[in-house]
Structure 1
Amino acid sequence: MSDEYTPRWSGEGEVRHVVLSSGNRIRYLVTGSGAPLLLMHTLRTQLDYFQRLIPLLAERFTVYAVDLPGMGWSDIRPQAVYDEPSVRRDMLDFIDRLSLKNLVLAGESMGATLALSIAAQRGEGIRSVVAVNTYDYPQGVERANALASFVVKGMRIPGVGKVISSIENEQVLSGILGGGFYDRRKLPSDFVSELIRSGKRCGYPTVETSYFRSLPSFMAARVLYGRISVPVTLVYGDHDWSKPSERESVKKLIRGSNIRILPNTGHFASLENPDEVAGAIFSTP
């Protein structure tokens, strides 16, 4: 069952689904009360990535956390496209279908880049953006460790990538994700097990390799940042994969943005340092 794991941590949250104009059926969680906030997760994870952050945010926001198209327990469709413009269109459609107004956009890694590109395309109805460890620079996860570099490079090779994805196990995935933590003990083992479970669905290797091959389109989304007119907070772990110069270059592209650096924190900040991430979101205008 797709919803076995999420209820263990989400309390009174409700798992729902919506079919978008693209035909993609998206799983999402809604919980809390207050102004709406949309959370978008990292590459190769799902809405459960925010399991330590959502309970904090639900005290002040109505939180909507999505499984991005094809990922987690969102449906897998043959011939679906997973480049940044396509995923952005789906998320804009999601916002419209749920009639979300005065919306705070928050995302991490790939989800952070989506939050910024969505705000760039549609300022109206967007209140502010909190972008955590944006994924908009070369190499990205390849900087995590030697294992990640080997696997990610292989994922991009046609034919080979699907084989690598299909034999992915908890040990390999833990090794890759662990390279995104300052303290890898903060990576929940049951979460890794859940990622492997959702990743065993028919067609998932195609989804995973398509996202990896589409990463250049997320880097290309930087050209949109100059259009953003709403308040933006850029949050980076001090041990994120990005270089300080890359963070500053993003800040320069977004007028009026500010940077917040989280101590003793890697790329997966919402799992490693949820209190600080929540604080950054609570501080947004």
Structure 2
Amino acid sequence: MAAALAAAAAAAAHHHRLSSSSPAARTRVVHHHHRRRRSSSLSFSAPASSHGCPRGARALRRAAAGDGGGNGSGGVSTGTVDPAAASSPSSSLEELYRSCATWTWRGMRVNYLVRGEGPPLLLVHGFGASVGHWRRNIGVLSESYTVYAIDLLGFGASDKPPGFSYTMETWAELILDFLDEVVRRPTVLVGNSVGSLACVIAAADSSRDLVRGLVLLNCSGGMNNKAIVDDWRIKLLLPLLWLIDFLLKQRRIASALFERVKDRSNLKDILLSVYGNKDAVDDELVEIIRGPADGEGALDAFVSTVTGPPGPSPIALMPAVAARSPVLVLWGDRDPFTPIDGPVGRYFSALPSELPNVTLHMLEGVGHCPHDDRPDLVHAKLLPWLDTLPSTTALTPVSSPAA
């Protein structure tokens, strides 16, 4: 969603009178070392709940899957469920937030949730989102799996250190350490947008059998659009993107633009532009994105993500990743950020014909966030695919987390 917020920032820059901007808050720069280490510790702010049922409710899941055989190499899903009805079942946000816990990583607090019993899944959100963005998936998935959902550093209820330089590699390291220290079992990673890319990088960097499988929901080509320079649409926008970079590095301007971007009305318009199912864009979704943006350090996270290096390309990493783990790719065909006819979309469309370990399903009428846009279509493809994965055991040996 970084592209939409950057576009909104550009529009705000065009209309905003700088003379009316309020003075920026004082900046405190903190230098961090990104060298990996195994010295993280677990500290719980709330007991992690387990409300799931034992694994094996096959009949119910097959009924939910409808025509969704998950073993093919492609196909288009339209579903027969009314979009409004498809969007209605969701876990209570208040209940989700109450059951969250805190893991300390490199001295910083990382918010996460765990629910259910069975083989583990880790849900990794996209730009500007958080655990709450999986509101329509956690309940269904936790019936048969242990579902972990994490707030990446800089988002949701996780720490947002002022002056921190956010990178795709840092988020990938966080994911691997979380698997090693908290989950402690081979895990299927499920990511959306930049969360997908973070999962790809984590899978590529894992030197142990931490990753059991990979599910990519409209994977981004980079942390921001600088990575996709061979798309003619991005080439046209490059001067504007560099201007946005320059403006956002001016604290006073960045603060004014960020306030406009997170305005409820503006934010809802952004979300409507990236969702195919407009009924899914409710007030709750707006608050899921907007709420954490009011916290200390949120502006720094926004600026660092939009202006920072794009990170590794999934195109360069996927062959090695798919050689080690099965991959399911679900792609909404109405995505304006990573369109199916763009470089990244075209690459993933062709991938099943090149790599037999990759399964692709196009989701018709679905936007950039399929799991929240049309969760019924996502579950219809995801659940049968998960059933095809071999069972696993705990990691051996595993490092013991510090007290």
TM bin, normalised by shorter chain, reads 0.7 to 0.9
SS of the equivalent of 2:132 reads: helix
Match for residue 147 of structure 1? none
Match for residue 65 of structure 2? none
Size of the aligned set, in residue pairs, is 272
Find the partner of 1:62 among 117, 121, 146. Answer: 146
Offset, 1:7: 5.3
Residue 155 and residue 57 in structure 1: after superposition, are their counterparts in 2 closer, same or farther (change >3 A)? farther
Moved more, 66-75 or 176-185: 176-185
> 1:171-186 residue pairs with structure 2 within 5 A?
171-186=265-280
Residue 276 and residue 268 in structure 1: after superposition, are their counterparts in 2 closer, same or farther (change >3 A)? same
CA distance in 2 between partners of 1:214 and 1:56 (Å): 36
| Higher CA-based Rg | 2
CA distance in 1 between partners of 2:334 and 2:212 (Å): 29
Moved more, 104-113 or 240-249: 240-249
> 1:1-285 residue pairs with structure 2 within 5 A?
8=93, 10=95, 14-21=99-106, 23-122=107-206, 124-136=209-221, 138=225, 154=244, 157-159=248-250, 160-167=253-260, 168-214=262-308, 216-217=310-311, 220-228=313-321, 229-241=324-336, 242-244=339-341, 246-250=344-348, 251-252=350-351, 255-256=355-356, 257-282=358-383, 283-284=385-386, 285=389
Letter in structure 1 aligned against 2:379: A
- Normalising by structure 1, report the TM-score: 0.85
CA distance in 1 between partners of 2:368 and 2:309 (Å): 16
Q: Which runs of 5+ in 2 are unaligned?
A: 1-44, 47-90, 234-239, 390-403
Percent identity over the alignment? 23
Letter in structure 2 aligned against 1:248: R
Offset, 1:264: 1.6
- Normalising by structure 2, report the TM-score: 0.61
Structure with larger RCO (C-alpha < 8 A, sep 6+): 2
Match for residue 146 of structure 1? none
CA distance in 2 between partners of 1:278 and 1:152 (Å): 39
Q: Which runs of 5+ in 1 are unaligned?
A: 144-149
